[in-house]
Amino acid sequence: MPETMAPLQLDANVSYVLCGGLGGIGRSLARWMHSRGARNLIFLSRSGATAKEAQALIEDLEKGSCRVKNCVCDVMNKEQLKVVTEDCKKSMPPFKGCIQASMVLNVSSLLQRLKCINRLIAYPPQDSMFVNMTHQQFQAALGPKVSGSRNLQHALGNDLDFFVMLSSITSIVGNRGQANYSAGNAYQDAFAKTLVSTGVKAVSINLGSIKSVGYVAENRQRVEKQGEIFTQWDQISEDQLHSIIEYHIDPRVDFNSHGDRFQSITGLMTPSAFTSKGVPIPAFMGYPLFKQLHTINLTAAPTTSGTDFPIQKLLSSCDSLNTAAKYIEEALQLQILSMMSVPKEEFDPYKPLVAYGVDSLIAVEIRTWISKSIGAEIAIFDILGRNSIVDFSAKVAGLSSLVHVAKPADAS
């Protein structure tokens, strides 16, 4: 087992920038960073600390021996940002990290806010189908994500220990009426890739729902009255969010050691999770990108993967290899129908497993299932071979430790 690392300790002699950090998630991250040793925090926001919660945060941080610089600044304005950062360089320690969580709020009603179930840090501008969206609406969502991220990184430089952009899961799966918001987040994902390719320690984190902080957490009763059900994404806790951030900024993890790690996605659920909640499986789950998620439920149930087929009992009591092979063939059929969503009428045991979309990843899961449920050790290339399921089942039966009948090797 790898040794458990001590909690991350941030440098008390440098400055960390939180852009849009006076919202619910930003305040939570600021308190967490302070608890991990940060003693110089710079907040960039368009309105400043006008809310009571923001004022209380600053007071608490200052009582905890933390220097706080609250700057009213629109990061979309390159010249304004330059003036502010130059001023910070004179009065604060050098910049060493940044969390970019800025977002434009321009939602016309509570109901529209509630519909934005995929994002609790901030809500995108007024929802609208793309064909009805004005140019101003589209640009309003892109500004903080595109110009804001680019200006911020340019102003702070390439020497940061981390540059974290809080993106959204909407750039991965989309969201009806939010093409502008999805596009802005997709830019951050691509921008992170570009930065990493040039040696900058950057990452884009696609967040889904946060259940303990943010607008919904602070307005739970109002949300419930509207009858909105938050079922599109899996929720994470505030502590889990902190852990995700810590993983990406901890130099001991060396997240970007290979130069190809620039993005992390949270909140995706498996098809089986949707089914267990009684929610229809979203259409995007049919995209090839999410193929792996269809196999995860197999690992959760190593004996029969959710089926009631008593394969171990049947194999222990069978009287011939042919009978054992038939049982294994039937069990494999149930696995394929469940894992690959193959209609029963389309299953043909005289085809190989690869004919049903079994790839190397799924082959590993099938191999694990065969080992645990059937007591046979099978090579991956046998699973991915061209032999029919009938022939493959016969081979597995001959290797099974649960089958107590004369086998070819025993007879000889």
* pLDDT tens digits for range 99-136: 999 876 444 433 343 344 333 333 444 556 777 888 88
**What pLDDT sits at residue 248?**
92
Q: Is the pLDDT of residue 60 over 90?
A: yes
Handedness of CA 182, 184, 190, 192 (dihedral sign): negative
Give the SS3 label for residue 15.
Answer: strand
Within 13 Å of residue 151, how many CA atoms lie on the same side as its CB? 22
Question: What mean pLDDT do residues 156-180 have?
Answer: 89
User: What average pLDDT does range 14-21 have in this prediction?
Assistant: 94
User: What's phi and psi for 250, nearest 5 deg?
Assistant: -75, 115
Q: How confident is the model at residue 270 (pLDDT cuts 50, 70, 90)?
A: confident
Confidence of residue 411 (pLDDT cuts 50, 70, 90): very low
What type of residue is 101? A
pLDDT tens for residues 236-256? 888 889 999 998 999 887 665
Residue 304: predicted pLDDT? 39
74-93 residue pLDDT tens: 999 999 999 999 999 999 99
Q: Which of 196, 278, 190, 263 is nearest to 231 (CA)?
A: 278
Predicted local distance difference test score (pLDDT) of residue 188: 96
355: pLDDT strictly greater than 50: yes
* Long-range contacts of the stretch 124-129 (C-beta < 8 A, 24+): 124/178, 124/180, 124/181, 124/184, 125/180, 125/181, 127/176, 127/177, 127/178, 128/177, 129/176, 129/177
Q: Give the predicted TM-score (pTM) of the model.
A: 0.66
- Contacts with 219 (C-beta within 8 Å, 6 or more apart), sequence order: none
Sign of CA dihedral 166, 170, 176, 177: positive
Query: Mean pLDDT lowest for which of 150-154, 294-298, 317-321?
Result: 294-298
User: What domains are defined for the chain?
Assistant: 15-268 (3.40.50.720), 311-411 (1.10.1200.10)
Q: Angle 293-295-301 (CA atoms, 0-180°, nearest 5)?
A: 125
Q: Which helix (H) or strand (E) holds 393?
A: helix 389-399
Which has the higher per-residue pLDDT, 2 or 303? 2
Q: What is the mean pLDDT of the chain?
A: 82
